[in-house]
Amino acid sequence: MNISSLAVVHPEAKIGENVTIDPFAIIEKDVIIGDNCHVYSHAVILNGARIGTNCNIFPGAVVAGIPQDLKFKGEITTAEIGNNTTLRECVTVNRGTASKGRTIIGDNCLIMAYSHIAHDCVLKDNIIVGNATQVAGEVEIDDFATVSGGCLVHQFSRISKHVMVQGGSRIGKDIPPYTLIGRDPIVYCGINIVGLRRRGFTNQQVFLIQDIYRTLYTRGLNNTEALKAIETEYEPCIERDLILNFIKSSSRGIVRGSIDE
């Protein structure tokens, strides 16, 4: 380990092998940090932080801060960061409340500078959150989603897999999988073709996803009619079922289609 003598590290914190902790970083007692991590100068890792391996915590970041929730009564909760995840400058990740007990950021995520991840959020794997994006409590973001810089994500919202959200968006509805979301107010702008291509989706899969969303957004059907049409007109498959199940389980409702379509 390479721990600076100018860092403040509680002797009972559990620090893995080959961990670098720079001057003026602070590590509290109830903290676990996995192997090969780098905690940069002036980062603050508070009680309840659980950090995986190969993570980078940049200057000014605060992990496991007390939730900004008036219902929080001091219960013991955690903020859990997966493997190979980077928190850039001044990122804040609050720990959970009695609601779920944990705030989770998964593996291979990049949370860019000045972003906030509030209490009880669940961010899965391979997610990018752009600079200064603010994610409110109990939001769920699924694998391979990209939420661009300056977005505001309302509490309890859900963002599904392989989504791309335009910078500066205000998100108050659920965002279904594979979609490209933008404009103000936000609307469905197509599917995230670039992201899907990068992740190896075939032409057949891309065309199927496009066709399903045409049924949902451009055939003049309400959501109930569109879901029934999708169930009857398309054979069961991973892509179809993910879209259907996400929309059916949405309590906030999904983002609307563009009026230009």
Can 120 be counted among the known catalytic residues?
A: yes
Q: Which of 34, 96, 137, 195 is catalytic?
A: 137
- Distance from C-alpha of 116 to C-alpha of 152, rounded to nearest angstrom: 10
Q: Of the candidates 232, 174, 237, which has an alpha carbon nearest to the alpha carbon of residue 208? A: 237
Show the tokens assigned to 177: 């999988």
Q: Give the CA distances from residue 242 to residues 161, 197, 254, in Å, rounded to whole numbers and listed in that order.
A: 9, 18, 14
Distance CA 53, CA 161 (A): 24
Beta strand pairing status for 146-147 and 128-129? parallel
Contacts of 90 (CB under 8 A, 6+ apart): 59, 60, 61, 113, 114
253 catalytic per annotation: no
Q: Which helix (H) or strand (E) holds 203?
A: helix 203-217
The yes-or-no answer on residue 69 being catalytic is no
d(CA 196, CA 189): 15
| Active-site hit among 38, 42, 116, 119 | 119
Q: Which of 22, 69, 107, 120 is catalytic?
A: 120
Q: What is the rounded CA–CA span in Å between residue 245 and residue 247? A: 6
Catalytic annotation, residues: 119-120, 137
